Amino acid sequence: EPEVTQTPSHQVTQMGQEVILRCVPISNHLYFYWYRQILGQKVEFLVSFYNNEISEKSEIFDDQFSVERPDGSNFTLKIRSTKLEDSAMYFCASRNRPNTEAFFGQGTRLTVV
């Protein structure tokens, strides 16, 4: 069964460093998303991406965040200068058309120290 793949599964970084979280969505999917889940809290929407551009973003997704689809398979989330409060589980999701369910990856646990 096709699945969304995220790497790495766990990343530890120092405050102020840049991190790139990587995702390989399901191959025929066109809509891509990042969500995050701070420990013990609910899953929150960050950004949606379609047709090589951001289609919607939340208040969380400030100038420190960016997304990119550098080739036909990867979808990345970059945090330019990490803060302690960026520590969370980050989930990538994708779907092939509107009004269908999104498939989530296993997540990347980001720990900022």
Partner 1 sequence: AQSVTQPDIHITVSEGASLELRCNYSYGATPYLFWYVQSPGQGLQLLLKYFSGDTLVQGIKGFEAEFKRSQSSFNLRKPSVHWSDAAEYFCAVGATGGSQGNLIFGKGTKLSVKP
Question: According to CB under 8 A, which one of 22, 45, 66, 111 is a site residue for partner 1?
Answer: 45
Q: Would you count residue 41 as binding partner 1 (CB under 8 A)? A: yes
Q: Would you count residue 44 as binding partner 1 (CB under 8 A)? A: yes
95 Cβ neighbours under 8 A, 6+ residues apart: 29, 30, 31, 101, 102, 103
Query: For residues 48 and 87, which CB has a smaller minimum distance to partner 1 in the complex?
Result: 48
Q: Would you count residue 96 as binding partner 1 (CB under 8 A)? A: no
Query: For residues 19 and 29, which CB has a smaller minimum distance to partner 1 in the complex?
Result: 29
Query: For residues 16 and 41, which CB has a smaller minimum distance to partner 1 in the complex?
Result: 41
DSSP track, 37-90? E-TTS-EEEEEEEETTEEEEE-TT--TTEEEE--SSS-EEEEESS--GGG-EEE
Residues 89 and 106: beta-carbon distance below 8 Å: no
Binding site for partner 1 (CB under 8 A): 6, 31, 33, 35, 41-45, 48, 50, 55-56, 58, 91, 95, 98-99, 101-107
